[in-house]
Amino acid sequence: APMSVVEVMPASKIVAVLVAAARDSILLGGSAAVLAAVLLGYALTRTLTRPLSQMTAAAAAFAAGEPMQLPAHASGEVGVLARAFNKMIQEVSAKNAAIRHEKDVFESIMTAMADSVLLIDRDGNIVYANRANQELLGSLNVTGTKWRDLYDIYLPDGTTLLAPEQWPTSRALRGEIVDNYELIYRRRESGKTVQVLGSARPIQDESGTKAGGAVVVFRDVTEIRATERKLHQSQKLEAIGQLTGGVAHDFNNMLTVIAGTAEILTEDLGDRPELVAFVQMIAQAADRGADLTRHLLAFARKQPLQPTSVDVNAMVLSLKQMLRPTLGEHIEIDSMLEEDTEPADIDPSQLSAALLNLAVNARDAMPNGGKLMLETGNVVLDESYAIHNPDARPGPYVMIAVSDTGTGIPVQLRDKVFDPFFTTKAVGKGTGLGLSMVYGFVKQSNGHIKIYSEEGHGTTIRLYLPRAGTKADAAAVAAPVEGGSETVLVVEDDALVRDFVVAQLHSLGYRTIAAPDGKTALAQAEEGAAFDLLFTDVIMPGGLNGRQLAGAISTFRPLRVLYTSGYTENAIVHHGRLDAGVLLLPKPYRKSDLARMVRAALLSEPMRSAPESAESRVKTATG
């Protein structure tokens, strides 16, 4: 039988062996755990930390404006997170692109706007100004500037200063809405003034309960208001012109009789000097009345002009010699004439009267003496000038300037100087019709007039006259007054004027046939009345005016015609100019004027029209 050896050991030794074995086992197990942990950490770095690093880099790039996509093929939550991040990048990029587009559109709109737009914060600081503010504010570098530090604001009268709390900006910052508030802004830095229409709206803060700022829009209406004032002035002058033209017609009829009768009395009372003096007073009063109506008609642009080619240099030199005794020794007269100045298409007598008026006005503006300068030249008014001066047409002109070194015209009176009867002279020293006559004459001649004045320094008035384009005519030599023995058919609806004309023609040796209206005269002509000249008023009652009467008679016989009228807006004058081949004797007139024009008419070519029946003549003439 096998043998067994049994070693008896103390219990403490056995425990020690077991403890050592256990320790070795634990050490081996710990090393394995550490190795497993390292391997696990490496795996986690590959699967988790690297995607997170990529996300961190992508977020940093996105923040820097360079968005990048994450690999979205990972599985699990990391893949979900990467795909969500990529989607967020796409959406934010799209929104940013839309915002940039909207900003570009906004900037384009603001740049293109003619109106000035400002954004103001709650403290009154400018945070945005569009390009139009360059004109209004003088600079675009106003961001951060307080609005109230840039301007003084006035009411439209230009003198009443508006309190800052009433400015559109201030009111909008209090939550008010301001629409089309007309004001005048004066920039403190430059002193420039601009008339504007201002509108303002509050911008609500985050709470929506109070204004966190304001948007303010200003429209520059300076030029618009200036144009409106000129239009209003023109309409006012036109209305007065219509009135004066009608008054002058009747007034000239009366003056024709008064002046003509005084002339007859003067001839017949040669042996009664005490009575001749009174008659001369009547004649002088009639002359003054005639001058008044001429000025009124000139202002109203209804005087009959007979334009011709005029050498303005020669006229100015002639005027210069005539002015020396008129203006007095205390006024120095000088001239600066451009040698190649073109001739003007103008009525020479009216131009001479206009220049004389301007010279006399200049003299009165220099009571203590001074200098009168007369200038001529060729100028071209361009489109830009016409835009700022609506009554001017662009094109070539002959310019005549009359300048003085006098007192100048106050700013508040410059819009009134062309008004008829407006004068700053003492009572009895002026009629107030001088400049209004010049204005009407120039406008009727298709010209332009411009005043430049500095109070205390002087005034320059420039006349822009249409160029003739042909050589200037030589001055006409006045023919001696003579009568004749021909027969004149006198047609005049005013009995006093008709009787006066008949008497004057008889005194000149002519025979006469008188008719009170066109129909009577036409009947006399159709019945075979023999006459050599038709002398007819243009405007007559009864449906047959002077032009229609002449046309009707000329259909069955050759006809020489002399028209007369105290009002020229009629059938023979269009836009202030006589029709071609027409002779007109304006009322009032003297015996010498009548004799000269009757003789000229008798020497003129007769008018002829195609023959037609008497029935059709009357029907056509009476409408």
> Is residue 545 within 8 Å of residue 571, measured between CB atoms?
yes
Tracing tokens 């090393």 back to the chain, one arrives at: 31
Q: Is residue 446 part of a domain?
A: yes
Residues 134 and 194: their CA atoms lie apart, in Å, by 13
In a shared domain, residues 292 and 342? no
Q: Is residue 496 part of a domain?
A: yes
Of 409, 431, 466, the domain-final residue: 466
Of 110, 140, 167, the domain-final residue: 110
Of residues 23 and 559, more confidence is placed in 559
Q: Could you report the per-residue pLDDT of 138-148, keeping only the tens digit for each?
A: 665 667 777 67
Q: What is the pLDDT of residue 131?
A: 79
Q: Which of 449, 499, 100 is nearest to 264 (CA)?
A: 499
Q: What is the pLDDT of residue 620?
A: 40
Most confident of 222-231, 414-423, 502-511, 603-612: 502-511
In a shared domain, residues 420 and 544? no
Q: What is the extent of the structural domain holding 62?
A: 30-110
What percentage of the chain exceeds 70 in pLDDT? 69
Instruction: Name which of 302-316, 359-373, 546-560 the model is least confident about.
Output: 302-316
Split at pLDDT 50, 70, 90, the class of 473 is: very low
Q: Is residue 544 part of a domain?
A: yes
Split at pLDDT 50, 70, 90, the class of 67 is: low
In a shared domain, residues 394 and 534? no
Beta sheet of 151-154, edge-to-edge order: 126-129, 116-121, 211-220, 193-204, 178-187, 151-154
In a shared domain, residues 415 and 316? yes
Q: What is the pLDDT of residue 47?
A: 58
Average pLDDT over residues 196-205: 84
In a shared domain, residues 148 and 72? no
Q: Tokens at residue 222, please?
A: 């300076």
One-letter identity of residue 474: A
CA R_g for the chain: 49
Q: Is residue 597 part of a domain?
A: yes
Q: Which of 441, 317, 310 is nearest to 374 (CA)?
A: 317
Average pLDDT over residues 409-425: 66
In a shared domain, residues 360 and 461? yes
Q: What is the pLDDT of residue 236?
A: 67
Q: Could you report the per-residue pLDDT of 531-556, keeping only the tens digit for each?
A: 999 999 887 877 888 889 999 999 99
In a shared domain, residues 92 and 119? no
Of residues 109 and 552, more confidence is placed in 552
Split at pLDDT 50, 70, 90, the class of 613 is: very low
Q: Is residue 191 part of a domain?
A: yes
In a shared domain, residues 551 and 587? yes
Of residues 62 and 465, more confidence is placed in 465
Helix (H, G, I), strand (E, B) or coil at 282: helix
Of residues 473 and 503, more confidence is placed in 503
Of 110, 135, 150, the domain-final residue: 110
Most confident of 59-68, 187-196, 335-344: 335-344
Split at pLDDT 50, 70, 90, the class of 619 is: very low
What's the domain count of the chain? 5
Query: What does DSSP assign to residue 203?
Result: E
Q: Is residue 60 part of a domain?
A: yes
Report whether pLDDT(490) > 90.
yes
Query: What does DSSP assign to residue 193?
Result: E
Q: Could you report the per-residue pLDDT of 9-27, keeping only the tens digit for each?
A: 565 665 566 666 666 655 5
Backbone angles phi, psi at 403, to 5 degrees: -120, 150
Split at pLDDT 50, 70, 90, the class of 409 is: confident
Residue 227, H or E segment: helix 222-268
Q: How far is CA 106 from the centre of its chain?
A: 33
Assign residue 599 a region (left: φ > 0; alpha: ψ between -120 and 50; beta: otherwise).
Answer: alpha
Residues 516 and 496: their CA atoms lie apart, in Å, by 11
Report whether pLDDT(428) > 50.
no
Q: Where are the alpha helices (DSSP H) in 332-471?
A: 348-364, 383-388, 434-444
In a shared domain, residues 282 and 146? no
C-alpha dihedral sign at 243, 491, 483, 478: positive
Q: What is the pLDDT of residue 321?
A: 82
Query: How confident is the prediction for the chain on average, in pLDDT?
Result: 77
Q: What is the pLDDT of residue 429?
A: 47
Residues 271 and 212: their CA atoms lie apart, in Å, by 99
In a shared domain, residues 59 and 179? no
Query: What does DSSP assign to residue 150?
Result: T
The CATH number covering residue 174 comes to 3.30.450.20
| Geometric angle at alpha carbon 35, from 31 and 39, rounded to 5° | 170
Report whether pLDDT(305) > 70.
no
Q: What is the pLDDT of residue 477?
A: 40
Q: What is the pLDDT of residue 614?
A: 41
One-letter identity of residue 607: M
In a shared domain, residues 346 and 394? yes
Q: Is residue 473 part of a domain?
A: no
Whether pTM > 0.75 for this model: the answer is no
In a shared domain, residues 120 and 102? no
Q: What is the pLDDT of residue 567?
A: 57
Of residues 101 and 209, more confidence is placed in 101
Q: Is residue 471 part of a domain?
A: no
Q: Could you report the per-residue pLDDT of 311-362, keeping only the tens digit for each?
A: 999 999 988 887 877 788 888 998 889 888 999 998 887 888 888 888 888 8
Report whether pLDDT(373) > 80.
yes
